[in-house]
Amino acid sequence: MNNVLLLKLHRWTSLVFALPLLAIIVTGLILSVEPMLQGRGLPAGTLDAARLTGLIERYDPQGQARGLAINATGQQMRLLGVNAPPIDLATGEAAAASDATGDLLLWARRTHERLLGYEWLVIASTIAMTVLMTIGVLMGLPRLRNSLAGWHKGAAWFTLPLLLLSPLTALCMAFGLTFSSGPPPARMTIKLTDAVQQIAQSHDVSHLTMIANRGGRMMARIYEDGELRAYTFTPDGVTALPRNWPRLLHEGNWSTWLSGTLNVITSVVLIVLLITGVWLWTRRKLRRRPPSARSAGPVVAAPLS
């Protein structure tokens, strides 16, 4: 295919999706640090099964909560599906102040997954990002020069595997591809307090991030050896779910610090590529002289009288 045509397609796809892509990449950068923050877990002695079940029964005496979410950075817990305040895990009382870090991460996740409330816009923008990278590959190896355009092309090529992995894993998540084999474990309905007691028998709840109903299945997510593992509750007890590799790779939850750092690098490079790409186009447009100026002949100064 003609490189001129590919360049135009690359340029106009970037311009059309520039704003949604910028929002998705920036929120992705914020979420990249979440595994590094959450993976550390709560301070030793902050939480155990008895304390956790006691807090659930205190703030949800009717047992109506659909789950819980724990933010290790702010040491707070939220009960899902009930009108209960955020709980300060250090004191056991209602949190006196909001958790700024947790609120930022929550906003970033909602925006990243449903931009302006539209999931289709995120999927369309992710497909556009994949198209942009594919066009870049089809245009062939760049000539590296010490210029803005040269650095733009060089950064894209030297980090291409990381860049491609981000939208491809996102699309796998959007279309439900997990690449896991075998039938899922049997489903079982279980009370939230019973789920806490069961997971605590074999796991350290200070590294627990969530227990909630997902797709009709009660699930728990807990950090173990730097990886965020998913478990479900069956008649046989707590059972590990098959690894969802696209999710692990995309969220950077397979090795906290290493995977989180790689995601930060990927997000920064994507932001730089998007901004420099738009700036290169803008600079080129500003440098062009209008057609009337190019077609007009030389200007002759009138003689002074």
pLDDT band at 304 (very low <50, low <70, confident <90, very high): very low
Question: What distance in Å separates the CA atoms of residue 169 and residue 151, rounded to the nearest whole number?
Answer: 26
Q: Are residues 102 and 238 in the same domain?
A: no
Shared domain for 163 and 52, answered yes or no, is no
Cβ count near 102 (within 10 Å): 23
Q: Is residue 135 part of a domain?
A: yes
Model pLDDT, residue 297: 52
pLDDT for the residue numbered 183: 66
Residue 199, pLDDT score: 92
Could you tell me the pTM of the whole model? 0.83
pLDDT of 1 higher than 60:
no
Q: What does the pLDDT look like over 219-249, one tens digit per residue? A: 999 999 889 999 998 888 888 888 899 999 9
Question: pLDDT at position 291, please?
Answer: 57
Does residue 295 form part of some domain? no
Residue 301: the pLDDT is: 44
Dihedral Cα 91, 97, 101, 102, nearest 10 deg: 70
In terms of domains, do 134 and 171 share one? yes
Asked if the structure places residue 301 within a domain, the reply is no
Domain of residue 19, residue span:
1-43+97-179+249-288
What is the model's pLDDT at position 298? Answer: 53
pLDDT in tens, 66-77: 999 999 888 899
Q: Flag whether pLDDT at 195 surpasses 80.
A: yes
**Which tokens sit at 228?**
């965020």
Rounded to whole angstroms, the Cα distance separating 29 from 22 reads: 10
Pair 106, 230 in one domain? no
In a domain, 58, yes or no: yes
Write out pLDDT tens, residues 32-49. 999 988 888 888 777 889
Examine the domain organization and report whether 175 and 185 are in the same domain.
Answer: no
Instruction: Report the pLDDT averaged over residues 205-217.
Output: 87
Q: What is the mean pLDDT of residues 121-131?
A: 95
The per-residue pLDDT for 289 is: 57
Which pLDDT tens digit goes with each residue over 82-124?
Answer: 999 999 988 889 988 888 888 899 899 999 999 988 899 999 9
Per the model's pLDDT, the better-predicted residue between 298 and 18 turns out to be: 18
User: Is the pLDDT score of 299 beyond 80?
Assistant: no
Q: Which of 214, 243, 272 is the last residue of a domain?
A: 243
Q: Are residues 163 and 219 in the same domain?
A: no
Q: Mark whether 207 and 225 lie in a shared domain.
A: yes
Which carries the bigger pLDDT value, residue 237 or residue 168? 168
Are residue 112 and residue 175 in the same domain, yes or no?
yes
E-only strand ranges, the chain: 67-71, 76-80, 87-88, 208-214, 217-224, 227-234, 237-240
Using CA atoms, how far residue 35 sits from 24, 252, 262, in Å, is 18, 7, 12
- For the chain, the domain total comes to 2
- When computed from its CA atoms, the radius of gyration of the chain, rounded to whole angstroms, is 25
